Chains A and B, each alone.
Chain A
Amino acid sequence: MTMDERGKRWMAYMDGQMSASESLEFERSLSSEDKKRLAEEVRLESEICDRLAGQECCPKALWNSLALKMNNQEPPARERITGWQRWVVAAASIATIITTSVVLYQDMETPPQNLSGLEISEATLTEFASQIEVPGTREATQRFLDDHNLQLRMVGLDSPELKTQHPIKLLGACMGKCPDGAVIEVRLTCCDEPIKLLIAKEGTSGARLIEKAIKCGTVQASRVSDGVVTALVGDIHGNVDLLNLLQPRAGNIV
């Protein structure tokens, strides 16, 4: 039994998630020291949870406003806007949209065209897949990463961390289309929708480009680990952290 499996069994026992026979078998495998430690862990966990539970209550004002909305089963009647008022409201809405867009655009540190290469701009999945330089196997993709001196280890899509009901497929890897910096892309699909992982060494122009993309909201999730920046572009369904697909090399050493 590996240490990870042992850790999980301890958890399951502590949480009372084992069947009676599993519990009995597990108890037999424990030394008296282990049993003592387990009892203490249970007590510590209970103390932690008591503090996490806290005493906060839903604010009264908040609940009252919600209760009011729920009690009014019919949506509140809107005041009818007619005639010239309609045109004034429309003009005000357009002015608000334009002003907001201008302010938001000015807030961005970089003109968006620099980052367009990092976005998923391909109209079709075929187009998205056509730019791939190495085939969609784990081995080929790993070689591609190695060739670019990226200290990353690619795990299988069937690893427990990446398990989801939504099918994820590996299409392959390629160089990104960013003239300003070298970014490696691992391209995938989730439920036949294109997604990609961007990879660059920390401190390079590629990494700076990814950082800008994070600020602009192009990136859904990102991580810096062992000198490598990885980022996810595109919508992943289900609650799975696709960045776990690429692990630092150090993690390989047991």
Chain B
Amino acid sequence: MEQIERYRDEFYRYTLRTLWDSGMADDVFSSAVLAAWENQHKFTPGTNFRAWMYRIITNKCYVANRHTGRTPAPIDDVPESAFLDLSDDRGYYDVLHRPDEVLEECGEEVHRAMANLSPSQRKCLMLRGVEKFSYKEIAEIMDIPVGTVMTHLSRGRAKMRKELLDYAQQQGIVRNMPRLIPKQGRDDERRANVSGGNAS
């Protein structure tokens, strides 16, 4: 009980961010806390209590989503490399150069972008970014392979950055300049320069 009490705020925030519905979050959080209390004999002393508790909350969130008939958000076609491809967008450099200012101006958009991710992506981002669990621990909490955790993280981060960038460009927070030379053109140009340099 002391341990639950010590981490209660972070457990509550995780439930809230995972479900994105404060009414449902209260119910699921209560149910998870009571389940942990009733099953405390199953917890092995000396092991990671937070991970054990997160596993219970994650399962409760999963069941809650299933019972309310919520379906996972449509899986987009964001490739895992999308995160790297963002550098092709001129405005993204503005985001990278002054993230605190841009995010400040984006305000609640960070939370809206988070809410638009799939439940699995949200869980992975929360467990890694906010709660600082390792990939292995997240895999155990969510009962999925480490590779899948990485995929969710990679896609979730890319999607979140893209949404923030789009919003920042629409609102004029960052510059919305088209690339002067298309990527293919740049590559051709670079190749021509290299071969020209070799010839000389």
Contact = CB atoms under 8 A, between A and B. Distances in A.
Given A58-B11, A58-B29, A11 B71 contact: no
B153 A11 contact: yes
B143 interface: yes
A160 B148 contact: yes
B9 A57 contact: yes
Interface residues of B, number: 64
Interface residues of A, number: 58
A43 B99 contact: yes
A163 interface: yes
A165 B34 CA distance: 28
A48 B81 contact: no
A37 B96 contact: yes
A3 B17 CA distance: 30
Interface string A239-254: 1110110001011000
Contacts of A219: 71
B96 A40 contact: yes
A47 B99 contact: yes
Contacts of B128: 15
Contacts of A141: none
Given A10-B84, A53-B13, A58-B29, A48 B129 contact: yes
Nearest to A164: B144
9 nearest interchain CB pairs?
Answer: A3-B81, A58-B12, A49-B129, A40-B96, A4-B80, A7-B81, A44-B99, A160-B147, A47-B99
Interface of A: 2-4, 6-8, 10-12, 15, 17, 37, 40-41, 43-45, 47-49, 51-54, 56-59, 62-63, 65-67, 69-70, 160-161, 163-165, 214, 217, 219-225, 238-241, 243-244, 248, 250-251
Interface of B: 1, 5, 8-9, 11-13, 16-17, 26, 29-30, 33-34, 37, 62, 66, 69, 71-72, 74-75, 77, 79-85, 87, 95-97, 99-100, 103, 110-111, 114, 118, 120, 125-126, 128-130, 134-135, 142-145, 147-148, 150-151, 153-154, 157-158, 160-161, 164
